[in-house]
Amino acid sequence: MTGETLFPAGFVWGAATSAYQIEGAAAQGGRGPSIWDTFARVPGRVAGGHTGEVAADHYHRYRQDTALMADLGLGAYRFSVAWPRVQPEGRGPVNPEGLDFYRRLADSLLEHGIEPWVTLYHWDLPQALQDRGGWASRETAGRFADYAAAVYGALRDRVANWTTLNEPWCAAFLGHAAGIHAPGVQDPATAVRAAHHLLVAHGQATRAMRAIDAGPRLGINLNLDPVTPASDGPADADAARRIDGVYNRLFLDPLFRGSYPADVLQDLGGLGGLEEAGDDDLAAIAAPLDLLGVNYYRRWVVAARPEWPRLGGPPSPWVAAGDVEFVASDRPRTDLGWEIDPSGLDELLLRLHTEYPSLPLYVTENGAAFDDVPDAKGLVPDQARIRFLDGHLRAAHRAIQGGVDLRGYFVWSLLDNFEWAEGYAMRFGIVYVDFPTQRRTPKDSARWYREAIARGGLNGSP
Ligand code: FCB
């Protein structure tokens, strides 16, 4: 191949992590327990019995980690703030030591010329709030707005780019319907209620932050994936419509069109939860945003299986869709079993661009788990991850060529980390972490990413 695939000037080259997955220091610095601390301690919930108690020990090693980011040439770093570090009880007085950690982290990034991007909620709800009902309770939305305002007030002089929630679909449906994420509830109706309360929390938080000043560039991170019918038949098309509804449009429509989609309301009708949404809720949820963070990992191919029960099957995140089959293809997969399909990314970005009001888009997560092993020289040759990232960046570039206002890309993840129910076995980092010694080793993909950043794009023509 000749030539280069260059991105527009000013394109943001980043990497992302989240608090519970890397910080450790779970009982230090005044941090209170989160629902993930509780969940991980229940035998059988997390592979290998792993917890985030130590994780990548980033709480103590953040300076080393920001130096590593500087060495890669990162322009931006997306991290999340642990609510229970800032408010151990989830409400009431803030813990100054907790806020101070994030101030020091932001300062260290700024010293290296790296833009801090803050996500306020990446799934680590204070356990004290779960004890009062968690996301099943509307009260949690108000608590989140108070917490968001406290963090914004403390960091607004250092941080310009903010997102409220990471992947509310996962928090609601993996956490409350499938029960494979904290808090481990398996009740579809509760999951739908939690989804609405998460969106209300987002809306109330944006109001509270904008009431402090007009400053924040504000958005949300959604996990969005194209959904493709397995055949041309009407039943499979309807299955695709329904999965797209409960996965993508359940969040996109209230945020960007001001209402829940009518077909989804009908599909979920029997479960309740969304009907309580009054005009005030919907207006808060739809308050204008400055950016949308897109987390993309895969495409879904679905088929109708009318002989399967729609409701009441085994616990699943796909509420009221027990009669939909997720069809495997022969595409290559990551170690997590996720099919690799870069073409889903430009398809998704173009859809967002044409179907929803145009606002700046950022890919705020994209990456792959592979079983990386250091070789005899201590290097980590992760060619498969390089191919994955290269393919997806090319898809991002195609989207930009097609007119999409895509302004940045964040690799998931900077470091190997605690991959939720999978524990430490699934390594997503471009930097290898040897957990017993906490030694960091940039993988070949980190060196490859550094070259891409320095070049402003990829080797070889589009
Ligand atoms: C996303 C999560 C992130 C990480 C990746 C692999 O759903 O936001 O924390 O687990 O998947």
User: Using CA atoms, how far apart are residues 115 and 109, in angstroms rounded to an integer?
Assistant: 7
Taking CA atoms, 425 is separated from 70, 137, 349, 429, in Å, by 27, 34, 31, 12
Number of domains composing the chain? 1
**Nearest residue by C-alpha to atom 5 in ligand 1:** 412
Assigned token pair, 410: 């964040």
**Nearest residue by C-alpha to atom 10 in ligand 1:** 419
pLDDT digits (tens, 9 = 90+) for 195-208: 999 999 999 999 99
Q: Which atom of ligand 1 is nearest to the CA of 426?
A: 6
Q: Compute, in angstroms, the gap from residue 214 CA to the centroid of ligand 1.
A: 30
pLDDT over 60 at 293, yes or no: yes
- pLDDT, residue 272, reads 81
Residue 358: pLDDT band with limits 50, 70, 90: confident
Q: Are 149 and 208 in contact (CB under 8 A)?
A: yes
**Nearest residue by C-alpha to atom 4 in ligand 1:** 419
pLDDT digits (tens, 9 = 90+) for 380-409: 999 999 999 999 999 999 999 999 999 999
Q: Which atom of ligand 1 is nearest to the CA of 21?
A: 9
Does the C-beta of 18 come closer than 6 Å to ligand 1? yes
Q: Active-site residue numbers?
A: 167, 365
Lowest mean pLDDT among 171-180, 273-282, 352-361, 411-420: 273-282
User: Using CA atoms, how far apart are residues 243 and 354, in angstroms rounded to an integer?
Assistant: 20
Q: Compute, in angstroms, the gap from residue 132 CA to the centroid of ligand 1.
A: 26
Q: Compute, in angstroms, the gap from residue 365 CA to the centroid of ligand 1.
A: 8
- pLDDT, residue 215, reads 84
Does the C-beta of 412 come closer than 6 Å to ligand 1? yes
Does the C-beta of 17 come closer than 6 Å to ligand 1? no
Considering the chain, what percentage of its residues have pLDDT values greater than 90? Answer: 96
What's the mean pLDDT in 25-38? Answer: 98
Q: CA dihedral defined by 346, 382, 65, 366, rounded to 10 degrees?
A: 20
- pLDDT, residue 1, reads 52
Does the C-beta of 428 come closer than 6 Å to ligand 1? yes
Considering the chain, what percentage of its residues have pLDDT values greater than 70? Answer: 100
What's the mean pLDDT in 89-112? Answer: 98
What's the mean pLDDT in 288-309? Answer: 97
Does the C-beta of 365 come closer than 6 Å to ligand 1? yes
Q: Compute, in angstroms, the gap from residue 397 CA to the centroid of ligand 1.
A: 23
pLDDT digits (tens, 9 = 90+) for 218-267: 999 999 999 999 999 999 999 999 999 999 999 999 999 999 999 999 99
Mean pLDDT score across all residues of the chain:
97
Does the C-beta of 140 come closer than 6 Å to ligand 1? no
Which domain CATH number covers 223?
3.20.20.80
- pLDDT, residue 271, reads 86
Taking CA atoms, 152 is separated from 81, 293, 315, 447, in Å, by 11, 18, 37, 34
User: Using CA atoms, how far apart are residues 183 and 35, in angstroms rounded to an integer?
Assistant: 6
- pLDDT, residue 278, reads 87
Instruction: List Cβ neighbours of 217 (8 Å cut-off, separation of 6 or more).
Output: 160, 161, 162, 290, 291
Q: CA dihedral defined by 238, 264, 287, 161, rounded to 10 degrees?
A: -60
Q: How many residues does the chain have?
A: 462
* DSSP letter (8 states) at residue 331: S
Distance, CA of 382 to chain centre? 23
Residue 375: pLDDT band with limits 50, 70, 90: very high
User: Using CA atoms, how far apart are residues 391 and 409, in angstroms rounded to an integer?
Assistant: 13
Q: Compute, in angstroms, the gap from residue 398 CA to the centroid of ligand 1.
A: 24
Q: Which atom of ligand 1 is nearest to the CA of 223?
A: 7
pLDDT digits (tens, 9 = 90+) for 118-143: 999 999 999 999 999 999 999 999 99
- pLDDT, residue 52, reads 98
pLDDT digits (tens, 9 = 90+) for 15-30: 999 999 999 999 999 9
Does the C-beta of 166 come closer than 6 Å to ligand 1? yes
pLDDT over 80 at 433, yes or no: yes
Locate the DSSP E strands across 267-404.
291-295, 300-304, 324-326, 361-365
Give the domain extent around 244.
5-458
- pLDDT, residue 20, reads 99
